[in-house]
Structure formats: C-alpha cells, structure tokens
Amino acid sequence: MFAILGTIEFTVAGGINGMEQSGSADWAEHARIQGKPLLEWIGEGLDEINLTIELHPMLGDPAERWRSLRQAKSKHEPLAFVMGSGEYIGPYVITRVSNAIRRATAVGQVVASTVQVSLREYTGAFTRKVIRQGLLDPASTGATALGSPGLLSSMTPVPSATQLALSHAKTASNVLRAGKNMYDAAKSGNPSMILGQVPQLLGVTARAIEPLQGLSAVAGLLDDGADLSRLGDDVLGSVMGSRSSLDPVDLGNIVDRFAASRESLGQAVTIMGSASKRLAGLTAEVLTRRA
C-alpha cells in the first residue's frame, strides 16, 4: 500500500504513479518611501498534496474508483492521510478531483484515464474514527453483583494485541531516549556530581522495565511477533545490565561503573531503534484497520 486517505487505499499496483507535496508561507508586503517594499511574515500557509492515479480495468473498475473519489469529496469531511510506512501526515480535505479520459468505448465506457486528486490540509478539530468497537470491559468481571454496569459504551475501543505491542514499544522508546539524554547530561560532571545522579538514572531505567516486559509478552501472541518478543527481551537485558552497573557504586568506582552503565543503555537504544521500520509497518496495519 502506498497511502490511505480515510478508507480509500492507494497502491502502486492500483495505478497511483505520482504524489506532489507543497507548502507555503504567507507574507504581507508593505510599501516604503524611496525603497523596495518590506515583507512581513504573517503565518504558515496550508500544505497541499496532489495525487496522480491511472485508471484502467486491469487495475480495478475505473468507474467505481472514480465514483468513490467523487463521493468522498461530496461528503466535505476531513480525512486522515497516512503513508504506507505508517507515517501520519495529518487530516486533509479533498478540494478537487479531475478525470482526463484517454481511452473509451463507443458507448462512453472509460477504458483508461488519468485522475488528479487535490488535497488541502485541515487545521480544525479532528478526531480519527475508532478502529474497533468495545464490547465487554475485561476489568468488570463481577461488576454487576455490585450494581455497576458490566458493559462499556459501544464507542469504547478494545485494543488489539498489535496495538498493545505498539503502545508498549512507544513507551519504552520514549523512556530510553529520556534516559540517554540524562546520561549524556551527566557524563560531563565530576565523580561526585555523577554519584549524586545515580538515583535519577536508576529511576529512569526502572520505568523502561514494565513496557519492555509487556512488549515481549504481547508480541508473543502475534502470529509473526517472535522477532518483537526477542527484541523486548534483548532491550530489557541491556537495560538490566545498565542498572546492575550502578549497584553498588561509590566515589571510587563511579566513573567506570557509570561508563559501563551508559554503554549498556546505549545498546538498548540502538537495539530499539533497529526495529523502527518493523514497528512502522505494524502502525500502518493498525491505521488501515488490518490489525
């Protein structure tokens, strides 16, 4: 999949062959006596995206695909635009669609045509639609005996295993980056200052343990999650190594112990970063309602 707009998927095999992104900035021009005008920046303009799509019976029903684009435009609703890599570009509206017919039958049936779709950034309030609807609250077992409702609202989403794995991975990544920044800031201090930072360093690494354990456990439930389960275990091993290097420490060994701890945490960050493409692929599956 190349990209998805709301529920409309664009694929290379389906005919998309071009995408142009543009951005602008708004400047006011003020006239000056005996001089060139002065420009004053007012604000950023709206981003725009133009898609070029080839329609052909071998790539899908041209009439149906053209109809779906026109219907999406007619609804006048902002739609989430997401790249196949999982990158969320943002909400966009369809401002224009055009269909240049290149071949047609004697009765006007389109055989081949080129469609242009113009999108414009939407900056108003926007909430992406719920991926799944919830049914039962897992924590509500026995709630009815206490007079509490056992059913959640039908609009409450129940996270899938993939969503939980991504959530754990994101939390762990954020904690690890915060830890790396803390280590980088502490490395320039003297031994006494570094020793005083040990409780904070142990605290930030401790916060990475639970999400990494959760990642390993949940990824093990996925059909193709063995690599992510190993990832969680490997990163957790480096985090635990980083923690053990700082326990115990004193003024005499803090410099060497800190260096070892920092190296182990750096390994954890590197291992986690190596899975960025894998996680982006899972994000794309979730956003396209495939996981």
Tens of pLDDT, residue by residue over 181-203, are 989 988 888 988 899 889 889 98
Q: What integer is the mean pLDDT of 210-238?
A: 90
pLDDT at 149: 41
Who wins on pLDDT, 99 or 291? 99
Whether 290 shows a pLDDT value over 70: the answer reads no
More reliable by pLDDT, 6 or 290: 6
| pLDDT of 168 strictly over 70 | yes
Q: Is the CB of residue 49 less than 8 Å from the CB of residue 19?
A: yes
Residue 161: is its pLDDT beyond 90?
Answer: no
Q: What's the pLDDT score for residue 111?
A: 82
Q: Which one of 13-22, 52-61, 160-169, 241-250 scores highest in mean pLDDT?
A: 241-250
Q: What are phi and psi of 34, to 5 degrees?
A: 55, 45
> In the prediction, which pLDDT does 139 show?
42
Evaluate if residue 65 carries a pLDDT over 70. yes
Tell me how far apart the alpha carbons of residues 7 and 22 are, in angstroms, rounded to a whole number. Answer: 23
Report domain extents, the chain: 3-26+42-121, 161-287
For position 129, what pLDDT does the model report? 62
In whole angstroms, what is the distance from residue 55 CA to residue 111 CA?
Answer: 8
Condensed to tens digits (0 to 9), the pLDDT of residues 84-95 reads 877 888 899 999
Q: How confident is the model at residue 103 (pLDDT cuts 50, 70, 90)?
A: confident
What's residue 235's pLDDT? 94
Please state which CATH number belongs to domain 161-287. Answer: 1.20.120
List, for residues 31-55, the tens digit of each pLDDT value: 989 889 999 888 888 999 999 998 8
- 3-class SS letters over 134-181: CCECHHHCCHHHHCCCCECCCCCCCCCHHHHHHHHHHHHHHHHHHHHH
Give pLDDT tens digits for 107-150: 888 888 899 999 999 988 887 664 443 333 334 334 344 344 44
Tens-digit pLDDT profile for residues 227-285: 999 999 999 999 999 999 998 889 899 999 999 999 999 999 999 999 988 888 888 77
Q: What tokens were used for 24? A: 């602008």
| Contacting residues for 9 by C-beta, under 8 A, at least 6 apart | 1, 3, 288
Q: What CATH number has the domain spanning 3-26+42-121?
A: 2.40.30
d(CA 140, CA 138): 6
